[in-house]
Structure 1
Amino acid sequence: MDYKDYYKALGVDKTATPEQIKKAYRKLARQHHPDVNPNDQGAEQKFKEINEANEVLSDPEKRKKYDQFGADWQRYQQQPGGGAGRGGQPGGGFDWSQYTQGQGGQGGGGNPFGEGEDFSDFFGSLFGNMGGGGGRRAGGTRPGAGGDYQAELEMSLEEAYHGGPRTITVNGKNLRLTIAPGVADGQTIRLRDQGGPGRNGGPNGALLITFRIRPDARYARTGDDLTQDVPVSMYKALLGGEQTVETLSGSVKIKLKPETANGTRLRLRGKGFPVYKKDGQFGDLYLRLTIALPQNLTEPEKELIQQLADLRAAE
């Protein structure tokens, strides 16, 4: 029985963190999934290998045992009559029974690394009885959860503000979902039972959807707050008056004080982004006023402005 290098199967180092293992597994699972590679026996075999590797390396106790076994494997190969597939009894005074799972005693002269009940024989020799049950199960391998699928959904800022029904296609299947208002760029939601099919009656995996919100030329978003630049005419800024502002929830009118300075910031409470899954709660909208100077002045306008300048100079 050949030693299986689970780290190599996932393309990670032996010092890989759980997050690195998880990331590598998901990438390879998407690449080699049978739904993506129909009638491809090579991809199917690779998919089984990476699932087996993930089954071990994602479980701290199994990984610890596997690492210990890997260190002893070369010693096993060198024992008289040992070695993979030779059928002999390893000797040398080393207790190999710690690695057998429900295979019975070693006195019968059989290979202590006999067939496993789950995944490959190699896996079964180490972990065949982990999780309870005692002997080999009738009917083959144990149930296992399907792999997770990942998808991205692109939306405009206004669509994220309002939420509502959307349709997403994953592995050729159209899935209709209702998005709660207020989702953020990079936010991921998890839909149970919408991922890969389970093994031997096990549960389906999940579908992980990550939202990508396109930048909006009108608003800058910080959490649930929005910032918006509002151009104001020079005359209104000097004399004061009403200014209409377009927000994502509709038009509002604000009052400007006389001699409003360029860059003045105003806060409109509750006019920002909806707080995700908290009905009736909203962030704030910050208005940054920019004074727009008049263009293409006529001669009479220039004369009036000059008169104003002369009056200011005489003070």
Structure 2
Amino acid sequence: MDYKDYYKILEVDKKASKAEIKKQYKKLARKYHPDVNPGNKEAEEKFKAINEAHEVLSDDTKRQKYNTLGADWQRYQQTGGGTGSFDWGQYAQSGNAGGGRYTYQTNDESSDFSDFFSSIFGDMGRSSRRSSVRSKGQDFSAELTVFLEEAFHGVKKTFTLNDKNLRINIKPGVEDGQKIRLKGNGGPGRNGSEPGDLIITLRVPPDPRFTRQGNDLYVEAQVPVYRAALGGDFYVDTLDGQLKLKIKPETKNGTLLRLKGKGFPVYNQPGPSGDLYVKVVLQLPEALTNKEKELFQQLAQLRNDK
């Protein structure tokens, strides 16, 4: 087992103050943090060593104990590094009042620390670590249903989480699967650290009237066959209510009419909107009267004469 020079790891002088140690620790932790160095095993090990060094040097009791051990480490090495010929009783602790030899365990929270650390501080190191390490609380996840019309206009939703009423303001233009983060509404932080967040996944189910593609909307409009033939006005449903449209004479079945800016609003942008596409579906008359049948027969004859 090799001796660890915590002062060298933190790049501070042995007489460094607690403030200097804290400042240097923050600097190195930012540099070697796993989030900054993804997949870099060397940086990960360096980060662990920095945390271990800070755990010892930032605690007056552990630092004093470590400094005392440092003076005896050469004698320990001279014994061949064997605990049988070196009295660890003055250093190692098992968590009992009487002290004793510490057996290193790898199945608890101390496994991120080295054998060297555990041999010196034992359970004292583990309990201190649990009590001193700050970490952000766990993020919670939830799903929330928002209907298409609500997503179009925006809506305020109230729901209960862990006996706490939460109110969320959903802006116009949200999409199915979009996530909204409510900061501070997750699990509690550790040792005074910030709580986690609540991440809400919005679910916008299909609408029976409208089809959404991005920020464009598609809707079908039933138009009487005679109006499509002669041209004229008809009404179409939109998410803002009915809209009056005019079609040209001899409009064919399946014709797509584009209404610019009448589609879905763009999320978090108050100005632009998508387009509304209206598909003309010709509506044939039903339950014809004798007079209507006669007129259709006359029309058929006229068309055949041409």
Q: TM-score, normalised by structure 2?
A: 0.64
Of residues 223, 236, 243, the one that matches 1:232 is 223
More helix by share: 2
Task: Determine if the alignment matches structure 1 residue 169 to structure 2 residue 160.
Answer: yes
Identity of aligned residues (%): 45
Matches within 5 A, 1:109-258: 109=83, 120-125=109-114, 140-258=131-249
Conserved 8 A contact 2:231-2:247: yes
Matches within 5 A, 1:1-315: 60-61=39-40, 107=77, 109=83, 120-125=109-114, 140-315=131-306
Q: Which runs of 5+ in 2 are unaligned?
A: 1-33, 57-65, 89-100, 118-124
Conserved 8 A contact 1:113-1:125: no
- How big is the shift at 1:65? 6.1
- CA 1:231 to 1:64, structure 2 compared with 1: closer, same or farther past 3 Å? same
Q: Which runs of 5+ in 1 are unaligned?
A: 1-54, 67-96, 129-135
Conserved 8 A contact 2:221-2:236: yes
- CA 1:112 to 1:63, structure 2 compared with 1: closer, same or farther past 3 Å? farther
Conserved 8 A contact 1:115-1:124: no
Conserved 8 A contact 1:274-1:282: yes
Q: Which has the larger radius of gyration?
A: 2
Conserved 8 A contact 2:104-2:115: no
- How big is the shift at 1:62? 6.4
Conserved 8 A contact 1:234-1:293: yes
Conserved 8 A contact 1:113-1:122: no
- Please give the per-residue CA displacement for 1:88-133, whole angstroms capped at 9, x wherever unaligned: xxxxxxxxx9xx86676564735898589xx7222233798xxxxx
- Alpha-carbon distance in structure 1 between the residues aligned to 2:130 and 2:231: 83
Conserved 8 A contact 1:152-1:212: yes
Conserved 8 A contact 2:263-2:275: yes
- How big is the shift at 1:140? 2.8
Find the residue that maps to 1:140 and give its secondary structure: helix
- Alpha-carbon distance in structure 1 between the residues aligned to 2:103 and 2:300: 98
- Please give the per-residue CA displacement for 1:37-94, whole angstroms capped at 9, x wherever unaligned: xxxxxxxxxxxxxxxxxx99x974569868xxxxxxxxxxxxxxxxxxxxxxxxxxxx
Find the residue that maps to 1:236 and give its secondary structure: helix
- Alpha-carbon distance in structure 2 between the residues aligned to 1:279 and 1:249: 16
Task: Compute the RMSD of aligned alpha carbons.
Answer: 3.5
Q: TM-score, normalised by structure 1?
A: 0.62
- Alpha-carbon distance in structure 2 between the residues aligned to 1:183 and 1:161: 8
